[in-house]
Amino acid sequence: MRRGSARVVRRSVATALTVATGFALLSGCGLSDHRETGPGGGGTGSAQPSIAPKAPVPPGKPLGADAHVPDTGVVDEDDATAVSLAWAETTYGYDTKYDTSPQDAVLRGVRWCTERKAAAERQYRPAGGPGNEWITWARHRAWTTVDVSSELEDDAPPDGERVAHRSLVVSGTAHGRDGWEGTGPRLNAYVKLVRAAVGKPWRVDDVTVVEAATPPGPNTSASASSPSDDPRQ
């Protein structure tokens, strides 16, 4: 599959961090499942969750010959930008015919991660559903492609010998096997890369993600109030 385009733009890191503050999520890493316990923290009896625990989302199926997942080709692993782009293209390249949640693509992307981050991703088991957007894609047995832009921050620290940072903009499209087309993953990812020494490959060690707002669909009028009407179709 053809790699997503890599545009380079220049902007202030202060602006990017302002947007990210308060909305940051670790890419592909599940947040803690903070369930409420019973009222009156010091009461007698065993505390029971007020929400029944959810079963972990099962892993996806092995990819078949017709799977649409990114092929990043040969990547210059001595180039931090190239590694960050390959990671983003792989991590956000879903195929809902085979993947049961975004975590399946996250696991395909760990080849570009440090051992620490890769181990954390492999141990993570998402307990919630993949969300309405994924349900829409899965209804069309869609796969996603992404264009990834690398932004050069005017006041970002320069690359060190062993640490580098990249700011990425991911803009995706979903392609249904039934001919449908819709919006795919859209987000900003702030990526920290490290390497053991000069000449060693760069690897993604930490990611902060800010999801873009889902654009409104065509059926957003007050009259379209039926729960079965999905505006993203």
pLDDT value at position 54? 59
Domain contains 40: no
Counting the structural domains of the chain, the total is: 1
What is d(CA 224, CA 70) in angstroms, rounded to the nearest whole number?
36
pLDDT digits (tens, 9 = 90+) for 215-231: 555 443 333 333 333 43
- Give me the chain's average pLDDT, please: 78
Report how many helices (DSSP H) and strands (DSSP E) the chain contains, helices first: 5, 5
The tens digit of pLDDT for each residue in 26-83 reads 344 433 333 233 334 444 343 444 455 556 778 889 999 999 999 999 999 999 999 9
* Structural domain contains residue 54: no
Q: Are 107 and 88 in contact (CB under 8 A)?
A: no
Residue 62 lies in a domain: no
The angle subtended at Cα 10 by Cα 146 and Cα 200, nearest 5°, is 70
Residue 222 lies inside a defined structural domain of this protein? no
Q: Mind listing the pLDDT tens digit for each residue in 184-202?
A: 999 999 999 999 999 999 9
Give the C-alpha separation, 51 to 17, whole Å: 34
For residue 92, being part of any structural domain is answered with yes
Contact at 8 Å (CB) between 204 and 87? yes
Could you tell me the residue range of the domain that residue 84 belongs to?
8-28+67-211
H-helix or E-strand spanning residue 192: strand 181-194
Judged against a pLDDT cut of 60, whether residue 153 lies above it is answered with yes
Report the length, in residues, of the chain. 233
Instruction: Determine, yes or no, domain membership for 193.
Output: yes
Residue 203 pLDDT: 98
Locate 218 and state its tokens: 């065509």
Position 103 pLDDT exceeds 80: yes
In this structure, is residue 15 part of a structural domain? yes
Residue the block writes with tokens 């890369």: 193
Residue 22 lies in a domain: yes
Task: Give Cα separations from 209 to 1, 79, 99, 110, 187 (angstroms).
Answer: 25, 22, 21, 16, 7
CATH label of the domain that carries residue 73: 3.10.450.230
Pick from 117, 125, 78, 83: which is nearest to 100 by CA?
125
- Whether the full predicted model's pTM is greater than 0.75, yes or no, is no
Res 225: pLDDT: 35
To the nearest 10°, the Cα dihedral for 33, 36, 37, 43? 140
